[in-house]
Structure 1
Amino acid sequence: MSHDPQMATRVWHGMRALVLDRYDRRKEVCDALDMSFIRAKALRRLAVAPLTMRQLAAELSTDAPYTTLVVDDLVRRGMVVRDVHPQDRRQKTVTVTAEGEKAAALAEAILGEPPPPLRDLDPVDLATLDRIVTALTR
């Protein structure tokens, strides 16, 4: 089957514009939590499971010094705790607190809210888009 590269590019640009330009919820998350998006992203990752500082840096695609600054701020805010790793005393494990879990849940709720054009799609079109997005993200 032959594909139209211009159409693929147009669709990609449209998807990016929809998600990253017109309905980018990152600022809303930052305003709601009164923190940078990288801190909110760290909380969201840590709400899934505790991570070592090294693992968190890899998840965030940040270097060790910047990850330390992010975690230090989250510790000051009472959103995470940092403890010595039980099997390797040279490593630190970061765990989200109850307050951090609440903030992460709020961030997830904001980020998970579909924009009006998506909610208002015809049900048949929405089902088609769901099938396509599911195939693309497999």
Structure 2
Amino acid sequence: MSEQAASRVWQRMRALVLEQHDRRREVCAELGMSFIKVKALRRIARGPLTMRELTEQLSTDKPYTTLVVDYLERRGLVERSVHPDDRRCKIVTVTAAGQAASKVAEGIINEPPSVILELPPAELAALDRTVAKLAVD
């Protein structure tokens, strides 16, 4: 495949995911928060994180991560506690309400668009194989 064809495929993939079927607005509206806060909640819902780990995963700076966690904590979606081995560190843990909100977000974000659902089985299987080769777990 030529570089031109690869570029065309990449542009179409980006448009499909980020423009035509971007779920970020939908999830933000449903949960009433910005996408960075949704992203933080989803990360914390996977398991407790230190503030440093969350900062790294979000690619934000420490003060901004603190603002995000403050917001999530005020909404009752996460809790902060002192790290058992290092009192200088805080651990952020999801609450039951946060876990429920994270599941709502996951459901919205992971819902395939109709253009994928409507593909014939053979084409869907071929697309699945192709994407599996490209994906990094």
Counterpart position of 1:88: 86
Counterpart position of 1:79: 77
Residue 82 of structure 1 aligns with an amino acid whose one-letter code is R
What is the Cα-based RMSD across aligned positions, in Å? 0.6
Deviation at 1:67, TM superposition (A): 0.1
Q: Does 1:131 align with 2:126?
A: no
**Per-residue Cα deviation, 1:115-138 (whole angstroms, up to 9, x for no partner):** 000000111010000000001114
Counterpart position of 1:98: 96
Counterpart position of 2:115: 117
Residue 29 of structure 1 aligns with an amino acid whose one-letter code is V
Partner residue of 2:49 out of 51, 57, 76: 51
Secondary structure at 2:37's aligned position in 1?
A: helix
Counterpart position of 2:67: 69
Structure 1, unaligned runs of 5 or more = none
Residue 104 of structure 1 aligns with an amino acid whose one-letter code is S
- Rounded to whole Å, the distance in 1 between the matches of 2:67 and 2:45 is 19
Please identify runs of 4+ aligned residues in structure 1 that moved more than 2 A.
Answer: none
Counterpart position of 1:13: 11
Fraction of identical pairs, as percent: 60
Residue 64 of structure 2 aligns with an amino acid whose one-letter code is Y
What is the aligned residue count? 136
Secondary structure at 1:89's aligned position in 2?
A: coil
- Rounded to whole Å, the distance in 2 between the matches of 1:14 and 1:58 is 30
Structure 1 length-normalised TM: 0.97
Structure 2, unaligned runs of 5 or more = none
- Rounded to whole Å, the distance in 1 between the matches of 2:79 and 2:72 is 8
- Rounded to whole Å, the distance in 2 between the matches of 1:121 and 1:18 is 14
Secondary structure at 1:88's aligned position in 2?
A: coil
